Structure 1
Amino acid sequence: MSTQAPTIIPSPPHHQPLLIGLVANEPSGDLLGAALAQAIRAHCPTVRFIGVAGPHMRAAGCETLFDQERLSVMGLIEVLPHLPELFRRRRQLRDYFITHPPAVFIGIDAPDFNLPLEHQLRKHGIKTVHVVSPTVWAWRAGRVKTLRRAVDRLLCLFPFEETFLRQHAVPATYVGHPLADAIPLHIDQAAARIELGLDPNAPTIAVLPGSRVSEMQRLAAPFIATAYYCRQARPALQFVVPLVNARLRALFEAEWQRQAIDWPITLIDGRSHTVIAAADVVLTASGTATLETLLLKRPMVVAYRLHPLTYWLFTRLKLVKTPAVALANLLAVQQLAPEFLQNAAQPKQMAAALLAYFDDPERVAAIQAEYARIHSTLRCSAADRAAQTILELIAPNKV
């Protein structure tokens, strides 16, 4: 982390707090938003954040206009039933911020929701920042035109994104990833197991079936079956599952009961960092969890299932241009984590891939060394760099 003392930004005249719009649609964005809010507040103690916030952002002092979960939808077909509400919520946010103009509006990830909102607000003279680059380098490259229209600044979490976007005249700045700063380079596995009440000596697999309802509905069954086959092969194994909210916990427990599993599993409310740290190996849905697992230096198996029609469209139209799906593999520029997508996400095959790690310590050590190298490159005091960039953007008008 930076040791430089923060520059304190005074509030605007008339004792009005600096107003910043901040919208995060998903749990991963909630973590990023909380770190960003705390970093901005270090420079501007009286700042007021309002928009859409999850529990971490609310704990950091962000006000929310409605529940974040209303916006947490992913996929092409999956989103269709939710479109009326998504459009209504976006209009609600647009009208609010036009009526109460913030010094800057910050949209975190969720580009299909946030970029049109940012474009509308920018047309009304509101400065806009988008955090987390859309994967235009992987698919739907035409979105760079939308980015140029919608944002005054795009904050990238990974270095290769800034290079690509600047080549396409997008005002992009690489700031690093807050998770890389928050997670230490060296992990105490024994302490994590003690904290979670796990057997300190038992081989351990962490199971992360996703943070969205749609992910849980598609992945809970194959992930639980995978755990079953692993346990059959190695009865000493223990399993631990982090669940971000009560609804996902209920869905997972229902599937566990449906499969009539007769041995215990440890369910944890949140605390995914600690759960992954406690594990020897991780079975995870594709997404930010693969980055989290990389930063915690754990070998992983990655799986994902989309709505069948969504997957058909992706493959038929050749929308994805990258050789890997998991963020961990994209950062490593090699397939260190086996990927099981759609119909390939079969429990016996995933179990075999997980168990193979226990039999190959040299492979595990090589993976951990590469993950440690990547972690070091991403530690940039990201939240503070992002805060400085945002405050420099708004300072001419608001300070």
Structure 2
Amino acid sequence: MHIFISTGEVSGDLQGSLLVEALFRQARRLNIDLKITALGGDRMAAAGATLLGNTTRIGSIGLVESLPYIIPTLKVQHQAKQYLKQNPPDKIILIDYVGPNISIGNFVRRNLPNIPIFYYIAPQAWVWSFNDRNTKAIARITDRILAIFPEEARYFADYGIDVNYVGHPLVAKMASSPNKLTARDQLGLNREQTIVTLLPASRRQELKYLLPDIIGAAKILQQQIPNLKFLVPVALPNYRMAIERAVNEAGLNAILIDDPNETSLAIAAADLAIAKSGTVNLEIALLDVPQVVLYKIHPLTAWIAKWIIRFSIPFMSAVNLMLMRRIVPELWQDEASAEGIAKEAFALLMPGDRRDQMFADYAEVRAAMGDGTACDVAAQDILTSTLKSQLPRKEVLSLNA
């Protein structure tokens, strides 16, 4: 069996790698000879996928932010489409990565209409879409959605899409993570020291818009809390120089963590995490670490979103989206200043009702995320499903490439 997977960015590579591992695991159990080719990153390659292109470095969110990545994305898309035409797979899996994946889906529906398409972790149109254009596009190209959020499953089911709620894949990944003291021992850290982990960027735009304020907040906290230490996981090697320079210029007592496999250790060891919005927020919650979540984009993009598009969302953090209520503080745009971040962080570092309530809410989040079998359930569904594309031929012909 030949499966093609398409995803992008650091988080997509992580989720893709977990699914690739499960696909090979279940294929061995079912005695299926499996080949996986993919658009993704180093983690997916390490899990056994053959990469057609590395898409971890060409992702962005926002209008202005996406401009530098248009040509690299189009090149990778062209390469993938040519490959699919010459080497039609048995099944296709799309993971998030909304614009490029809809483009690939449309191409497949036009040129290879009988290949079933699974969308695993569909784009969060159920959260941020100001119209249902993308949702309808997803409905046109997708034969089955494997959902990881309860609200995601309900939303897409309402559009008539075949949906299977599998639970969240991070539950199994984080189950083997150590507790705080063990993590500190493994990293060679003082068991009694106050530690804050900073997670500033998995996209280049976050280095520009979030890193300065995160470093500024850390500097304020260091002035207020004696013997404070910071851990800073580096999402991609080419981000290290910018992060190291900012840390040194601020005079922070910090350790940079270069090994992606030690990011979970750096989180588990912390008393608090200050993090960009993304998949990592759920990792932090599963490790029972209080957190402050940040989101900031280009000012022009933010202005257009607010005043032209009238864009609004209930929450941005995956933790709050899991139960659709405010569990962790979210600081958006101007709120995500050094002073604002430091104020929220200091409050959560202090023992009291806010920390206690967050721990209680985290327990509910964990319960909603399933029993840790999400990847294997999804893999079994993909490998054993006999579904064929049910898209009417007249609709296939109407799709754009």
TM-score by length of 1: 0.89
Is 1:41 paired with 2:24?
A: yes
Distance (Å, rounded) in 2 between the aligned partners of 1:217 and 1:336: 27
Residue 342 of structure 1 aligns to which amino acid in structure 2?
Q
Moved over 3 A (4+): 317-321, 394-397
- Of structures 1 and 2, the one with the larger relative CO (CA 8 A, separation 6+) is 2
Contact 2:219–2:252 (8 Å) recurs in 1: no
* Alignment equivalent of 1:384, drawn from 354, 363, 376: 376
- AA partner of residue 20 (structure 1): I
Q: Residue 6 of structure 2 contacts residue 40 of structure 2 at CA under 8 Å; is this kept in 1?
A: yes
Identify the residue that residue 214 of structure 1 maps to in structure 2: 205
Q: Aligned-residue CA RMSD in angstroms?
A: 2.0
Aligned to 2:229: 238
Kindly tell me: are residues 70 and 266 of structure 1, through their superposed partners in 2, closer, same or farther at Cα, counting changes over 3 Å?
closer
The AA in structure 2 aligned to 1:64 is L
Task: Answer yes or no: is 1:128 the counterpart of 2:117.
Answer: yes
Q: Which amino acid aligns with 2:121?
A: V
Question: What secondary structure sits across from 1:44 in the alignment?
Answer: helix
- Residues 143-171 of structure 1 show CA distances to partners (whole Å, capped at 9, x for unaligned) of 22101111111111111211111111122
Contact 1:144 1:170 in 2 (8 A): no
Is the 8 Å Cα contact of residues 185 and 375 (structure 1) preserved in structure 2?
Answer: no
Give, in whole Å, the separation in 2 of the partners of 1:293 and 1:318: 32
Q: Is the CA contact (8 Å cut-off) linking 1:104 and 1:394 kept in structure 2?
A: no
Q: Which residue of 2 aligns with 1:307?
A: 298
Q: Which residue of 2 aligns with 1:22?
A: 5
Checking the alignment, whether the CA contact within 8 Å between 1:35 and 1:383 is kept in structure 2 is yes
For the 8 Å contact 1:185–1:376, the answer to whether it is kept is no
Say whether 1:226 aligns with 2:210: no
Deviation at 1:336, TM superposition (A): 2.6
Shift of 1:233: 0.6
Shift in CA distance, 318/180, structure 1 to aligned 2, threshold 3 Å: farther
Report whether the alignment pairs 1:144 with 2:163. no
Tell me the distance in 2 between the aligned counterparts of 1:181 and 1:302: 23
Q: Which runs of 5+ in 2 are unaligned?
A: 390-401
Where structure 1 has 5 or more consecutive residues not aligned to the other structure, the ranges are 1-17
Residues of 1 paired with 2:325 and 2:118: CA distance? 32
CA distance 1:202–1:382, shift in 2 (3 Å): same
* Residue 102 to residue 309, structure 1, CA distance change in 2 (3 Å): same
Give the drift of 1:329.
Answer: 1.9
The correspondence for 2:37, drawn from 45, 50, 59, is 50
SS of residue paired to 1:73: coil
Displacement of 1:395 in angstroms is 7.3
Name the CA distance, whole Å, in 2 between partners of 1:263 and 1:77.
32
Q: 1:69 to 1:31 in 2, by over 3 A?
A: closer
Distance 1:128-1:319 versus aligned 2 partners, 3 A rule: farther
How far is the alpha carbon of 1:376 from its aligned partner?
Answer: 2.2
Query: CA shift at 1:263, angstroms?
Result: 4.2
**Kindly tell me: are residues 186 and 220 of structure 1, through their superposed partners in 2, closer, same or farther at Cα, counting changes over 3 Å?**
closer
The reply on whether 1:268 has 2:257 as its aligned counterpart is: yes
Q: Which of 267, 274, 281 is 1:283 aligned to?
A: 274
1:106-255 matches, within 5 Å, as 106-123=93-110, 124-125=112-113, 126-140=115-129, 141-184=132-175, 188-255=179-246
Q: Which residue of 2 aligns with 1:11?
A: none
2:35 and 2:177 map into 1 onto residues whose CA distance is 35
SS of match in other structure, 1:90: helix
TM-aligned CA deviation for residue 236 of structure 1 = 2.0
Deviations 1:202-250 (A, max 9, x none): 1111100021111112211111111000010112211111112221111
Paired with 1:391 and 1:291, the residues of 2 have a C-alpha distance of 27
Provide the residue aligned with 1:63 in structure 2.
50
**Residue in 2 that maps onto 1:3:** none
* Per-residue deviation, residues 185-217 of structure 1 (Å, max 9, x unmatched): 995100011112221111111100021111112
Could you say if the C-alpha distance between residues 199 and 111 of structure 1 is closer, same or farther in structure 2, counting changes exceeding 3 Å?
A: same
> Residue 43 of structure 1: CA displacement?
2.6
User: What letter is aligned with 2:12?
Assistant: G
Q: CA deviation at 1:319?
A: 5.3
Q: State percent identity of aligned pairs.
A: 30
Q: How many residues align?
A: 378
